[in-house]
């Protein structure tokens, strides 16, 4: 078994098909198909079942998958540690960044990182969990910056960076923008971001713990911050979102946070990585640059950064 074959198997499992796997890996569909065919021939077992909508793992593929994930992660970790012993700086760093950080502090963080480690190739994804978690598990992403409350502790480590408030958002034209209770909003349509297993915890946190019930069809799940923001601003949906998103386009100047009597949850942005994958020199440098940017917010000349500082409670 070769590393690229195992990565192809993991990518198909995460993406649900050859086309999605090729996109995740940055390869052609032919290259992914060839790697999987070679792996099947070596093992003498069918690992995938192709269907009209993509592909899924056979029982043999499902048995191999957790071993593939562990092997790929350990090999990449060994390569990085050996490179450090040779005095080499890691050549690549892949980071998932939660949307509000991406639109506020990412520029300053990247400038500082590029100055410190100009030879490292940096790759950045918009770090919604549906995107980041498969890439973290495959070893293709080194760390993600985002909420970690629903992640399995046996699989991931998280280092808290900052705490912030969650808010219900509405456009300035929404008919219930002056609402004072969640009970007034149960017949409205909502848009939220949640992972494949995150719907129930979000609904419980926002509604059920306050004694409210909302029909499932009222809630649209958006796996893109751009779609979520557009549906709040242009379609008139209510949103449930981190307060710092109010500083990000297109929500900035076009939406407001509702002043509700029910207390809403706090959330945290954390550095997330696999428990068995130590952070290398480049990853640690990126984290330090981000922490420096967070600490500098309160004394920044930028009014937006000072607003952001007022929304955050640093946790490091």
Q: Is the pTM of this model over 0.75?
A: no
b/e sequence 64-88, b meaning 16+ C-beta within 10 Å: bbeebbeebbeebbeebeeeeeeee
Q: Which residues contact 310 (CB under 8 A, 6 or more apart)?
A: none
Q: So what's the pLDDT on residue 114?
A: 94
Which domains does the chain carry? 1-88 (1.10.10.10), 90-316 (3.40.190.290)
Locate tokens 């190739």: which residue? 121
What is the distance between the alpha carbons of residues 66 and 21, in angstroms, rounded to a whole number? 17
> Do the Cβ atoms of 128 and 223 come closer than 8 Å?
yes
Tokens of 220: 């649209």
Instruction: Kindly give the confidence (pLDDT) of every residue in the chain, 316 residues in length, as a single tens digit, with 9 standing for 90 and above.
Output: 888 899 899 889 888 889 888 887 878 899 999 999 999 999 999 999 988 778 889 999 999 998 888 887 777 667 666 765 666 556 889 999 999 999 999 999 999 999 998 889 999 998 777 778 888 888 889 999 998 877 777 889 999 999 999 999 999 999 999 999 999 999 999 999 876 556 788 899 999 999 999 999 999 988 888 999 999 999 999 999 999 999 999 999 999 999 999 999 899 999 999 988 888 889 999 999 999 999 999 888 889 999 999 999 999 9
For tokens 């911050």, what's the residue?
A: 225
């Amino acid at each position: 078994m070769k590393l690229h074959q195992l990565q192809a198997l993991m990518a198909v499992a995460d993406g649900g098909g050859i086309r999605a796997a090729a996109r995740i890996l940055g390869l052609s569909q032919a290259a992914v198909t060839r790697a999987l065919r070679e792996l099947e021939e070596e093992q003498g077992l069918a690992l995938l079942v192709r269907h009209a909508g993509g592909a899924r793992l056979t029982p043999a593929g499902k048995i191999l998958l957790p071993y593939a994930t562990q092997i790929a992660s350990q090999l990449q970790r060994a390569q990085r540690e050996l490179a450090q012993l040779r005095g080499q700086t890691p050549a690549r760093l892949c980071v998932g960044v939660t949307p509000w950080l991406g639109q506020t502090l990412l520029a300053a963080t990247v400038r500082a990182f590029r100055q410190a480690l100009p030879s490292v190739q940096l790759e950045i994804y918009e770090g919604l969990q549906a995107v980041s978690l498969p890439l973290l598990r495959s070893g293709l992403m080194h760390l993600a910056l985002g909420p970690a409350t629903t992640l399995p502790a046996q699989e991931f480590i998280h280092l808290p960076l900052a705490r912030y408030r969650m808010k219900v958002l509405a456009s300035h034209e929404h008919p219930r923008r002056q609402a004072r209770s969640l009970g007034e909003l149960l017949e409205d349509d909502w848009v939220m971001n949640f992972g494949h297993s995150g719907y129930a915890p979000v609904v419980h946190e926002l509604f059920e713990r306050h004694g409210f019930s909302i029909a499932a069809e009222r809630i649209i799940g958006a796996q893109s911050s751009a779609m979520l923001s557009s549906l709040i601003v242009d379609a008139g949906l209510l949103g449930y979102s981190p307060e710092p998103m109010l500083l990000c386009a297109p929500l900035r100047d076009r939406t407001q946070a509702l002043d509700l009597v029910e207390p809403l949850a706090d959330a945290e942005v954390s550095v997330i990585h696999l428990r068995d994958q130590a952070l290398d020199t480049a990853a640690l440098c990126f984290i330090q640059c981000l922490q420096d940017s967070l600490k500098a917010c309160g004394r920044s000349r930028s009014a937006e950064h000072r607003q952001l500082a007022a929304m955050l409670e640093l946790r490091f």
